[in-house]
Amino acid sequence: MKKNKHSVGFLSRLFSNKIFLVILSVVVSLNIWMNINMSDYGETSYVVNDIPISITLPDEAQDLGLEIFNSDDLVGSVTVTGNRSIIGRLDKDDIQIVPEQTDSLTSAGSYTLSLVAKKTGGISNYTINSVSPSAIYIKLDRTREITKKITNNINYTIPDYYYGNVFLSDDEVTISGPESEIKQIDSVVVSGTVKNKLTETVKKEYKVKLLDSFGEVINTSDAVTITPSKVTATIKVLQMKNVGVNIVTQGAPTGIELSNYYSISPSKVSVAGESADIANVKLINTDAVDFSTLQNKKYKLTQNLEFPDNCIDINSINTVEVNMDLSAMKKKTLTISDFDIEGLDEAYDGEVTTSSLEVTVYGIESQLKKLSNSNISAVVDLTNSEVSEGSKEMALTLTIKDVNGCWIYGSYNAVVKTSKK
């Protein structure tokens, strides 16, 4: 097919015309400019997200100490329409979501509130179409805080001659949240079962459980906080041993079998400890029975037990009862006048100015007959005393020598005079 030479020539001349090309470029530029501007100013929809839902409680509710307890975040979104160049600048600070009304929020309870959106920023020439969610569920209540002891319900088994005990990293928990939920809590427990038989100490973490008055587990809302929510249980497993009790004495008569004069109840106690700690424990000592306070009478004494480090009293005995019968003993009074001084600073001279003292002694009659002044040593020990010039009353240490079955009753002092050399 042959081209029309006339048409081709016309187009060639047309596009060679400078005036035509100028007009054509103006028309094309104007069209592009109008399309861009018409697009910017056209109506369009836009969703503004993460807008906080603002709820202001009435004064009456605030006076009652009511607060909002919600497990979900109080946020929503708003759909708007308007000019593209305007709504594109909107953010969550330009719009507020609020309840339509809050007059009914005057007591503790659950409420459903219808929501509306309001323009709060400087941009206003757009339309709010919808709010999501359109309504929200809230719970009003007072905050309450309680502290509860933790009950240990951890089950485990151990072999014979072993002792086990559970120690919790925390003895109590603090629970706070809505009063209506806190009121349901009757007790707090940690519970679980260790399947294997234990022969050594183990540790395990347990979740704290809240129970109602029927012993049922309470599933609280996220508004309830438990501090701590977990505790570490140390199941301490120790070897057990039954050992005798040894009466420790101070100033007791020598050379006689004291056990003939007393009985202990209980005479044995159960102790437990790590194998290395308990291996050498043969006896448990009492605190000292001071014979300087005893006469020729019958006594019922309560003495504390002194357990070795790292060993425990399984039965929590803590004390034993000592029944002591000294009624067969006799009494003798001696007058002593020979005194010695020990531990005196070398820069001083010293002398006991007390001329004599009467000393009371109890013991077996046959031994008392042998006892004389020469059998009693009387010493003033200044080793740990501050010494200065002058006279001072000091404690005497009295001991019996060369005679058995006797003890000194009471405490005694003597006056010591010191002077610088």
**At CA 414, angle to CA 412 and CA 417, rounded to 5?**
160
Fold match between 143-233 and 247-325?
yes
Q: 332 or 276: whose pLDDT is higher?
A: 332
CA distances 233 to 105, 129, 192, 193, 372, Å, are 45, 57, 10, 12, 65
- The pLDDT value recorded for residue 309 is 86
Q: Which CATH superfamily is domain 143-233 in?
A: YbbR-like domain (2.170.120.40)
Burial class (CB in 10 A: 0-12, 13-18, 19+), 112: exposed
Determine the pLDDT at residue 30. Answer: 60
Over the stretch 386-411, which tens digit does the pLDDT of each residue have? 888 999 999 999 999 999 999 999 99
pLDDT-derived band at 43, boundaries 50, 70, 90: confident
- Multiple choice CATH, 247-325, 1.10.3470, 3.40.50, 3.30.2450, 2.170.120: 2.170.120
Other C-beta atoms closer than 10 Å to the C-beta of 268 total 14
Residue 37 above 90 pLDDT?
no
Angle between helix 5-15 and helix 18-40 axes, rounded to 10 deg: 70
Per-residue confidence band for 71, with pLDDT thresholds at 50, 70 and 90: low
> What's residue 275's pLDDT?
83
Cβ 164 vs Cβ 128: under 8 Å: no
State residue 310's pLDDT score.
85
Task: State the CB neighbour count (10 A cutoff) for residue 68.
Answer: 15
Question: Is residue 79 scored above 90 in pLDDT?
Answer: yes
Find all residues with CB under 8 Å of 392, minimum gap 6, and list them: 415, 416, 418
| pLDDT at site 221 | 87
Cα 346 versus chain centre, distance:
55
Res 231 pLDDT > 90: yes
Which pLDDT band holds residue 230 (cuts at 50, 70, 90)?
A: very high
Class for the domain spanning 330-420 = mainly beta
Q: Looking at the predicted structure, is the pLDDT value of residue 40 above 60? A: no
Count Cβ atoms within 10 A of the Cβ of residue 203 and give its class: 0-12 exposed, 13-18 middle, 19 or more buried.
Answer: exposed
How do residues 119-132 score in pLDDT, each as one tens digit?
998 888 999 999 99
Q: Please list, in sequence order, all residues whose beta carbon lies within 8 angstroms of the beta carbon of residue 405, skipping any fewer than 6 positions away.
A: 253, 254, 255, 256, 363, 364, 366, 367
In the structure encoding, which two tokens stand for residue 401, read together? 């020598």
Residue 419 has pLDDT above 60, yes or no: yes
Per-residue pLDDT at 116 exceeds 60: yes
- Res. 34: pLDDT tops 80: no
- For residue 282, what pLDDT is reported? 92
Of 75, 88, 82, the C-alpha closest to 128 is: 82
Whether residue 170 is predicted with pLDDT greater than 90 in this model: the reply is: yes
Q: Which tokens hold the place of 181?
A: 């939920």
Q: What does pLDDT average to over the chain? A: 89
**pLDDT score of 279:** 87
The share of the chain scoring above pLDDT 90, in percent, equals 70
Burial 73-106 (b: 16+ CB within 10 A, else e): eeebbbebebeeebbeebebebbbbbbeebeebb
Fold designation for 43-133? RNA Polymerase Alpha Subunit; Chain A, domain 2 (2.170.120)
Residues 176-189 pLDDT 10s: 999 999 999 999 99
* Residue 7: pLDDT over 70: no
Per-residue pLDDT at 22: 61
pLDDT attached to residue 15: 56
What does the block give as tokens for 26? Answer: 């103006």
State yes or no: pLDDT of 313 exceeds 70.
yes
Looking at residue 39, what is its pLDDT?
A: 46
CA angle 30, 32, 34 (to 5 degrees): 70
Question: At which residue do the structure tokens 């200065």 appear?
Answer: 388
Distance CA(80)–CA(53), nearest Å, equals 17
> Tokens 């629970």 appear where?
175
In order, the DSSP letters of 303-369 are EEEEPPTTEEETT---EEEEEEE-TT-EEEEEEE---EEES--TTEEEEE----EEEEEEE-HHHHT
Query: How do the domains of the chain map onto residue ranges?
Result: 5-40, 43-133, 143-233, 247-325, 330-420
pLDDT of residue 33: 46
Q: What is the pLDDT of residues 260-312, one digit of tens each?
A: 999 999 999 999 998 888 888 999 999 999 999 999 999 999 999 999 988 98
Q: What is the mean pLDDT of residues 77-84?
A: 92
Q: pLDDT > 70: what percent of the chain?
A: 90
> How much is the average pLDDT of 144-161?
94
Q: Would you state the pLDDT for residue 38?
A: 45
Distance, CA of 59 to CA of 105 (rounded, Å): 10
- Token pair listed for 139: 């719970």
